[in-house]
Amino acid sequence: MRQLKLKLGKTRIIFFDLEFYVPESGRDKSGFCYNPWDKRCKLLGGSFFIANPEKDLSKSSENINSKVKSLWLWNKKSERELLEDIYHLLKSTSEIVKKAHNGKVSALLCGIGITTSDVPILIDLFKRYKILSNEESFSFQNEFRLIDLSQLSIATFNNSNNFLYPKQKSLLLQKYIPEKKFESGKSVWGMYDEKQYDQIESRVVDEVVCTHECYIKILANVREFKRLEKNHKRQQKLLAKQDEAESLLSK
């Protein structure tokens, strides 16, 4: 089966991070308190870096912060308008990739923990606000492929038992950007209550930039693993030839 030839400059990876708000009355739960069907909760918005792999996925990539686009509830008339803008951003990016590859390649969504939070939440909110029907939501979700760094990074950690488990954002940062630390996402609730919108915006842009950096460093790890694997195979072949030669000489 022939591998599809990528037009790399016409592929896109959307690095993103969303923030949510939970009122005090809903904060007593353990685990993830936000629920897209709970009308007391709010999607505050998020930041998106639409990366071109030809230009934006190397250590020398510059001005990442300036390329991040942010969409926030306090700049919109309603949560529905915010969601419509997010939908159009994702849809227009998807169309760039699909048109260039006759629908055979998808745009990528990349983040930390997005497979269990951000992506399913967006899809449910599109349904709730009737931006998309159930059928359209399913089709839209399948226009994309997901790279969740909490899962991708599993192989870059020592796993002492047989239970492979996605890595928390704090562990990823500790490994790849140890100088960077973020408070719990729940701290954003207090910022929103205090109308500290600038702090929320700068925090989320920083998180997207860190996600981009983790992606690049995980990719470097993968390439190093493959280099070591290649060297190991070469050594095994040399040892096999030596054994064969010694066996012939001993006859």
The proportion of the chain whose per-residue pLDDT surpasses 70, expressed as a percent, equals 95
- Predicted pLDDT of residue 62: 73
Predicted TM-score (pTM) of the model is 0.91
pLDDT digits (tens, 9 = 90+) for 183-242: 877 899 999 999 999 999 999 999 999 999 999 999 999 998 888 888 888 888 877 777
Is residue 250 over pLDDT 90? Answer: no
Q: Which amino acid is at 140?
A: F
- Least Cα distance to 147 among 112, 121, 123 occurs for 112
**221 contact partners, CB below 8 Å, separation of at least 6:** 156
> Helix (H, G, I), strand (E, B), or coil: what is residue 68?
strand
- Predicted pLDDT of residue 52: 96
Between these two residues, 234 and 119, which has the higher pLDDT value?
Answer: 119
CB 205 within 8 A of CB 180: no
pLDDT digits (tens, 9 = 90+) for 51-108: 999 999 987 777 889 999 999 999 999 999 999 999 999 999 999 999 999 999 999 9
CB atoms within 10 A of CB 151: 18
Region 243-248 average pLDDT: 68
CATH code of domain 8-149+165-249: 3.30.420.10
- Predicted pLDDT of residue 29: 72
- Predicted pLDDT of residue 251: 61
CB 203 within 8 A of CB 184: no
- Predicted pLDDT of residue 67: 94
